[in-house]
Amino acid sequence: MSGVIVENGEALPSAPVQAFDEGGRSTRAAWERFVAGEDDVRGVPDVILLSWQRSRDLYGVDPWDAAPPRAGGADTTSIRSLLHANVVAQLGGVAGAIASGTDGSLTTVTDGSGRILGSWGGGSTRRRAEDVGLAPLYTWSESTTGTNGLGTSLGRPFPVSVRGPEHWREALHDWTSHGISVSDAVTGRPIGAVTVSFWRSACGPPDGMERAVTSIRAQLREEAVREGRALLAAFMAAAESAATREAVVVADVAGNVVAANEYAHDLGSHLPPVAAVEPTPRRRFLSVELREIAATAEAHFGSDPSWTGDFRVNLLHEQMAFRVSPVHHGGRFIGILLVSTLDADGSHPIDDTSAAAVGEAPVRVVGVHESHLIILSPQEIRYAAADRHIVWLVTDRGRVRAADHGIDNIEHTLGSSGFLRVHRSYLVNLHRIREVGQGAGTGTLTVSTQHHGYESIPVARRHAPRLRAALGI
């Protein structure tokens, strides 16, 4: 083996390979400018630049910190979290196999919060890794440690490689790290990650690393489909016995609507037209309100599986009362079933303390199309764009001109319905954001509310921290 030294019987690179050294110098210079406060840096991969922005502007990570924080206790409050232990164990098997076949590497496995649970590697490599905190009992989430292969890969569907000065912390500039994570197919929350790191080497990710993790992801998706079918079965049983004017909706643990009956569709437009058994399509129908109700139901389910609760839900065009019950599969909580409640005369009850009872109408925006007035609910609007005083409302049915002038007036109307100002000319429905990207060559952010096709809504720098905080990125 040429170009290596042997220390304690272990072969290690004697110096960075030339390609790594040349790239490292320009990246180090870009890192120094960015750490100093510059935004317009060139030649840095998009995934790294976006991570730098989060590390500096959102998380406030000190790039000169010598070590990451110590890990706290594990979260065992959720039944679903306990089930993820099996996935983490499988990731440990993947990490061990990689370590046995990859010389000079340090392989780690973490949980979804970035806590290192185990590490494998030769003695010299492990000692160098321990000096910078690449060891059990340390936390490597991006929010605490900045850009790194482990933390930056968490929750992302693709592998992430961070080389030398691409790391946010200077103490890691001698390392190359390749990370790949696994997330819950329903909630999208990270479960764990495998990372392979090399000291002073630009080695690429080991063969088979991505393939092994893809197999685990496929298992999670198959389980999510089984849960979707169980939710659909619960919905069909409830819909069959429901009264004529009862709305029936079923949602998963993340608040994604899986199915809704005809009466529910008559009242609400942002519901799946057909049952969304597959986990990915049903994410289009996320309700933050249902996610909170599902969390409440899960907490009760742990101590009383027969629990039911009454909630008023704004998922539909009008606020309605629903009886909520948990849905379980194989003894574990997988979602909630909502059936609207009716008075003795067959009408929907009105809560005297609700906004409607005190004379406040539900939030609506009036649009104008070919001399007709169109009444739009917030759920129907993806974003609003100002052209001087004229405001265009972009909906799933196309662009509609707002009857009111000025985007400030539209923001005043929609601000309480999950809309966020991201630019002096743009107001975006947070519930409809599907992608976050980087503006070409500018270092700024863009968002898109489309699943397919191209859309780029600019995010002004001064609005970016609020957007990141609202989206949890």
Enumerate residues 6+ apart whose C-beta is below 8 A from 332. Answer: 79, 80, 83
Please check whether residues 14 and 140 belong to one and the same domain.
yes
Handedness of CA 44, 171, 194, 144 (dihedral sign): negative
Please check whether residues 454 and 385 belong to one and the same domain.
yes
Query: What strands lie across the sheet with 398-402, from one edge to the other?
Result: 372-376, 365-369, 398-402, 390-395, 381-387, 426-429, 419-423
Please check whether residues 378 and 425 belong to one and the same domain.
yes
Please check whether residues 318 and 384 belong to one and the same domain.
no
Please check whether residues 76 and 107 belong to one and the same domain.
yes
Please check whether residues 399 and 452 belong to one and the same domain.
yes
Q: What is the pLDDT of residue 6?
A: 35
* Domain assignment of residue 433, given as a range: 365-471
Report residues of the chain scoring pLDDT below 70.
1-23, 71-83, 85-86, 101-102, 244, 267-270, 315-319, 342-362, 370-371, 439-443, 451-454
Please check whether residues 344 and 449 belong to one and the same domain.
no
Residue 105's CB is within 10 A of a number of other CB atoms, namely 22
256 in any annotated domain = yes
Please check whether residues 159 and 199 belong to one and the same domain.
yes
Please check whether residues 313 and 404 belong to one and the same domain.
no
192 in any annotated domain = yes
Please check whether residues 322 and 193 belong to one and the same domain.
no
Say which CATH number the domain at 296 has: 3.30.450.20
Please check whether residues 351 and 369 belong to one and the same domain.
no
Q: What is the pLDDT of residue 354?
A: 40
pLDDT tens digits along 222-270? 999 999 999 999 999 999 888 767 889 999 998 889 998 888 877 665 6
pLDDT tens digits along 132-167? 999 988 989 888 899 999 999 998 888 999 999 999
Please check whether residues 51 and 176 belong to one and the same domain.
yes
Number of domains forming the structure of the chain: 3
Pairwise CA distance, residues 286 & 237, whole Å: 23
